[in-house]
Amino acid sequence: MATEYAYDIELSKDKQHLTLTVELPERRLAREPILECTNDNALDIVKQDGYGNYQLVKGAGTLSNWVSREGIGGDRTGTYIFEKIVKAAAKKPIATASTKTTAKKATTRKTTTKKTTKTS
């Protein structure tokens, strides 16, 4: 799939949000290719431009430059909103004698009586 998308990436001042605006070219002739842009394509565009640590918050659905004879077709422009992925550092609790619990194992022993016979 050709990536002939016209797009614009805007980054917020605090660098927490990223806005991607995509516009597909208009088809004038039937031999021109039908282009589509999905949420996955938008994510690929953002990653290719070096913003790999952002996740999609609001998608624009599927954009398409296909138009029927009646003039009914898909949306050619759309806006995708991304948010920076924040990695929370999870602290492991330190195990102390009072917080450490171990499950007691129940053991059962099979006992048999051994007969001893004396031979005289």
Burial 82-94 (b: 16+ CB within 10 A, else e): beeeeeeeeeeee
Within a domain: 21: yes
- Considering the domain boundaries, does residue 93 fall inside one? no
- Domain membership of residue 102 (yes or no) is no
**CA dist., res. 3 & res. 62, Å (int):** 15
Measure the CA–CA gap between 21 and 77, rounded to whole angstroms.
7
Q: Going residue by residue through the chain (120 aa), what tens digit of pLDDT does each one get? A: 445 779 999 999 998 999 999 999 988 888 889 899 999 999 999 999 998 899 999 998 899 988 888 878 888 999 999 999 887 655 666 656 555 566 666 767 766 766 667 666
Task: Say what the pTM is.
Answer: 0.65
Closest listed residue to residue 82, CA positions, set 6, 12, 1? 12
| 66 within domain boundaries | yes
Q: Which domain holds residue 42?
A: 6-84
In degrees, to the nearest 5, what angle opens at C-alpha 104 toward C-alphas 101 and 107?
Answer: 165
